[in-house]
Structure 1
Amino acid sequence: MKANKYLLLLLAFLPLLFFRDFTPDNELKYLSIADEAIRYGNFFTFTNHGIAYADKPPLYLWIVILGKLLFGTHSMLFLGLFSIIPALVVLYVMDKWIATEADQNSRLSAQLMLITSGYFIGAGIVLRMDMLMCMFIVLALYTFYQMYTGKDTKWSSYLFPFYTFMALFTKGPFGLLIPILSVIAFLIVKGELKTFGRYWGVKAWCILLAGSAIWFTGVFMEGGYTYLHNLLFNQTVNRAVDSFHHKKPFYFYFEAIWYSLAPWSLLYIGVLFAGIKARLIKTDLEKFFLTIITLTFVGLSLVSSKVEVYMLPAFPFFAYLAVLLLKKVNQSKFVSALIAIPLVIIGAAFPAIIILSRIKPIALLNTPLIYVLTAFLLVIAVLALYYLYKQRNLNKSIYTLAAGLLITIFAGSFFIPSYNEYIGYGEMCKTGEEIARQKGIDSFYFYNSGRMENIDAYLKRDLKELKETDLNKKQCGKAILFVRIKDVNRTPSLKKMVEGKQKIVKGDCFIIIL
């Protein structure tokens, strides 16, 4: 039964991974970086169009490179498995972790809530290293807790530092700091800090330092001191103190947490605060989960660089601590309201779309699919409310909403190809190559915006950049220009340059024949 549950969850997301295009922001960049690494034979150091890319450790880029070498092309399905499978591993480990503390129905509720929480599900279907890091952090913390409670095996003392190193090797400093600082904070809470050496002794530090030494030696041999300094200081200390990227105010996560965990954020946070107020957090497991949440939340708030997905390692503990506390919070009306509010909002999407489509025509709203899916969610919301208030069955209401969201994702995935030209640049490049073959064109240009420099991953050739300073004097000859429509409209010199040229619209972009 357990295997069937995880298989069904995997199948719910596979069509989305099979049909969708790569997004320009990060996914396409990783493909371009991997192609460059293969071309130049780099293993530890990477470049993006000749510019050093020390932002991330090599593990995830190795996976991208492996996929290209195995299949001869970049496979969305293959790479997507390294996001969704780690997400399922997190569900499995967390379920196993609280098995003695919660009944089967409550544990299933926790799993379904977590897998349908906004940024958790998002990290499970995008091609990033965040879910992989989250998996290693959860494994590290679970292994520590097994050691703490005396349920460890002979391998636990090796696995704990290994998982911690792998978290570091996947995403960087957060992967190292969250497991180590969570353990320190928990031991302080328990008044047992003097036992820290039992978990982080000579053996653990040797494993961590040996892995880091191999990595940094490889970096130094390939990229020299400059790249190593960039990796160790510019991408860690500088981003933490005064970030050059994703700089946000201290309170950023206090706002982001509400939509990052939707539609369950009210339930998670409401039950958590109710539990703290009533002093219901009493077991070691509950204290450890709360410590992880607090340390991660506060620690990340102190760091200058902030993105919603950085909070991902705390999300499993939000969901599972809420479930542990639900049986203790004796406020049925309060808890019901925390679920009913998002149900009403979800149910209201269908009439809202009907009203919006009549007020202002929007291309996306003119497709029958949107009406079918939102009407389905309205039925799901009504059914979940019925279970919540008429049958007084909280778990059944949670099952209904979560299943409805998963079915919506599964069904909607089959229509993704119709929207791919708005998601990524694959359709644009395919059309551009067809035009080039028909007209005997060999030169491709892109305008310097929207991450278009990375479409070389599609075209398998170098492109030339058309810069704004060149617009009044650039003679491109016979060529194809890829440019976003909004860049043409807001740049007078670009608009003048392409005036009268043949333009093909693909999503939000022009393919212009020069």
Structure 2
Amino acid sequence: MRKYLDTIDWGRYLLLFIAVLPLFVFRDFTKANELRYLSIADEAIRDGHLFAFYNHGAAYADKPPLYLWLVMLGRTIFGDNMAGLMTWMSLFSVVPALVVLRIMNRWVRPLVPGVPARRAGQLMLYTSVYFIGSAVVLRMDMMMCMFIVLALHTFWRIYSGESDRENRLRRDRLLFPLWVFLAVFTKGPVGILVPLVTVIVFLALKREWRKIGTYWGWRTWGILLGLCVVWFGAVYAEGGTAYLDNLLVKQTAGRAVDAFHHKAPIWYYGVSIWYSLAPWSLLAIGVLVWGLCRWRRMALTDLERLFLVAALSTFAVLSMVSSKIQIYLLPAFPFFIYIAVIWIAKAGVRRWMKWLVGVPAGVLTLTLPGLFVAAKQIDFPLLDSMFVPVGAALATLASVACLVWLWRGRLHTAITTLAGGLLATIFTVSFAVPQFNGYLGMGDVCGAAKAVGDVAGIERYYTYDIDRAENIDVYLGRPVVLLETPQELESVERGIVITYKERIGTDEALTRAFAGQEVHRVGDYAFGVIHKNDER
């Protein structure tokens, strides 16, 4: 029987993986971050760097090396096969997300014995906007989140005596600092900040100050410092003092105290969490507030205290850090969702909980009619593919079914139905992505420009007024010249200039440059083939 249940369990994770797989197979890389990682990886492979990274010659100490190593490995294996490379890199976003789901599911089993409740919890977390968003973009945040959850789970195993009962105490005492280091090695200081603060605050609330050294003692700090010394020594050997200073001072203290990127006020996460956890934010935060108001009557277990501390202390500490974007709060999301799952199982389903699911479900019933309204209002080919209205219809039907289940008093079934419908929508709409890639990324326009350039014998490529366009060298196979002023644009004698298509006719310098020249439009972009003073 246990083997049969495990098979079903793994089958569920496979379905969750398949739900987002077509999106990776069909979509283009985003120019903001994903193309930059590829360009950095290409430069590192070309120059033989493993610890000090550069983006077009400029030091890139923003991120530790682990994730970039994976990009380099994928580039080495798949070369210019972008679909294969995208699928490879997706494994390091989706698989960590599934690992987090599995750990949380097994972790809460003693307090949430019901399978429907745990399944609903998994789907709530997986379909939260910024959790699934982190699972379908090529970033290192989900890997860091996985290592942080592994570190806190390992801490709990030691603290609760589970490691000792299984004769794995020695192993877990080594794994705890290893998970923490891997979190740091993936994304940076948040990887140590979250488990450090969570463990200390938890033990402080338990009035077990003396035990802090058990988890953050000489063994933990010795392993962390030893690994960091090797890492920083390798960075110094490759990049020198300037790069090491950039990594340890500018990218750490600078972002924490007075950020030069993503600076936001202290209340930022108090606003962003409402849409980051959508469509479950009303339920998760509502149950959290309700439980805190009944603090003394809840008779909290140690596991509940740990989850509560992990959620709230991470929220508080990251709110005090100067640099903020929604995805930085990712390590707290599993604990916000699962403390709600535990308290619903503990206190029972209340009528107001159904309303907190019903309100977003009611809004989502408007997905299909909203699609047709949006298609008339925005300049985007939403209805060019049948998969989009079919996906919208699935979201609307799932939302209606969710409301029906809520009316029948089946909260967990309602949550599962709505979440399943959202995943079906993502799966379906993914097949329309190839038609939208010209708007989502620059692969299509670069491919078209390169094809025209090869025929015309043009080897010079330019971009005009496009942010972060230097990294399209990944597609073109050669450096790109960035044009930022009309004077620079007018100086181009021969080459291909890529720009936003909406600029043609509105930008005087661009209109003059493209006058009488061959112009191609691809998705959101256009390129002109400049032949000044050429005999044609």
TM-score by length of 2: 0.92
Per-residue CA deviation, residues 391-440 of structure 1 (Å, 9 max, x unaligned), is x1111111101111111111111221111111111111110111012212
Q: Mark the runs of 5 or more structure 1 residues left unpaired by the alignment.
A: none
Residue of structure 2 equivalent to 1:306: 324
Q: Which amino acid aligns with 2:134?
A: A
* Partner Cα distance (2:489, 2:156) in 1: 65
Residue of structure 1 equivalent to 2:309: 291
Q: Secondary structure at the match of 1:363?
A: coil
Q: Which amino acid aligns with 1:168?
A: V
Pick which of 83-92 and 320-329 moved more: 320-329
- Checking the alignment, whether the CA contact within 8 Å between 1:429 and 1:459 is kept in structure 2 is yes
- Checking the alignment, whether the CA contact within 8 Å between 1:281 and 1:287 is kept in structure 2 is no
Is 2:459 the partner of 1:442? yes
Query: How many residues are matched?
Result: 512
Q: Secondary structure at the match of 1:155?
A: helix
Residue of structure 2 equivalent to 1:397: 414
Return the offset for 1:13: 1.4
Return the offset for 1:287: 0.7
2:9 to 2, 16, 29: 2
Is 2:445 the partner of 1:428? yes
Describe how 1:361-372 pairs up with structure 2 within 5 A: 363-365=381-383, 367-372=385-390
Per-residue CA deviation, residues 55-88 of structure 1 (Å, 9 max, x unaligned), is 0001100000011112223500000100000000
Return the offset for 1:45: 0.5
- Checking the alignment, whether the CA contact within 8 Å between 1:274 and 1:329 is kept in structure 2 is no
Residue of structure 1 equivalent to 2:189: 173
Residue of structure 2 equivalent to 1:127: 138
Per-residue CA deviation, residues 479-504 of structure 1 (Å, 9 max, x unaligned), is 11111234556643333333332211
Pick which of 364-373 and 397-406 moved more: 364-373
* Partner Cα distance (2:505, 2:122) in 1: 47
- Checking the alignment, whether the CA contact within 8 Å between 2:483 and 2:489 is kept in structure 1 is no
Residue of structure 2 equivalent to 1:409: 426
- Checking the alignment, whether the CA contact within 8 Å between 1:275 and 1:329 is kept in structure 2 is no
- Checking the alignment, whether the CA contact within 8 Å between 2:64 and 2:187 is kept in structure 1 is yes
Return the offset for 1:351: 2.1
- Checking the alignment, whether the CA contact within 8 Å between 1:471 and 1:493 is kept in structure 2 is no
Describe how 1:5-404 pairs up with structure 2 within 5 A: 5-73=12-80, 74=82, 75-103=85-113, 104-152=115-163, 153=168, 154-279=170-295, 280=298, 282-329=300-347, 332-357=350-375, 363-365=381-383, 367-390=385-408, 392-404=409-421
Kindly tell me: are residues 79 and 464 of structure 1, through their superposed partners in 2, closer, same or farther at Cα, counting changes over 3 Å? same
Q: Secondary structure at the match of 1:327?
A: helix
Kindly tell me: are residues 358 and 209 of structure 1, through their superposed partners in 2, closer, same or farther at Cα, counting changes over 3 Å? closer
* Partner Cα distance (2:237, 2:482) in 1: 32
Identity %: 45
Kindly tell me: are residues 17 and 357 of structure 1, through their superposed partners in 2, closer, same or farther at Cα, counting changes over 3 Å? closer
* Partner Cα distance (1:190, 1:443) in 2: 66
* Partner Cα distance (2:14, 2:451) in 1: 39
Q: Secondary structure at the match of 2:382?
A: helix
Cα RMSD (Å): 1.6
- Checking the alignment, whether the CA contact within 8 Å between 2:390 and 2:428 is kept in structure 1 is no
Per-residue CA deviation, residues 107-164 of structure 1 (Å, 9 max, x unaligned), is 1111111111100001001100000000000000000011111112220000000000
Q: Mark the runs of 5 or more structure 2 residues left unpaired by the alignment.
A: 1-7, 531-536
* Partner Cα distance (2:376, 2:17) in 1: 38
- Checking the alignment, whether the CA contact within 8 Å between 2:287 and 2:344 is kept in structure 1 is yes
Q: Which amino acid aligns with 1:187?
A: L
* Partner Cα distance (1:271, 1:497) in 2: 60
Per-residue CA deviation, residues 356-395 of structure 1 (Å, 9 max, x unaligned), is 44567753245443322222221111111111112x1111
Pick which of 25-34 and 276-285 moved more: 276-285
* Partner Cα distance (2:269, 2:61) in 1: 26
Return the offset for 1:334: 0.5
Q: Secondary structure at the match of 2:138?
A: coil
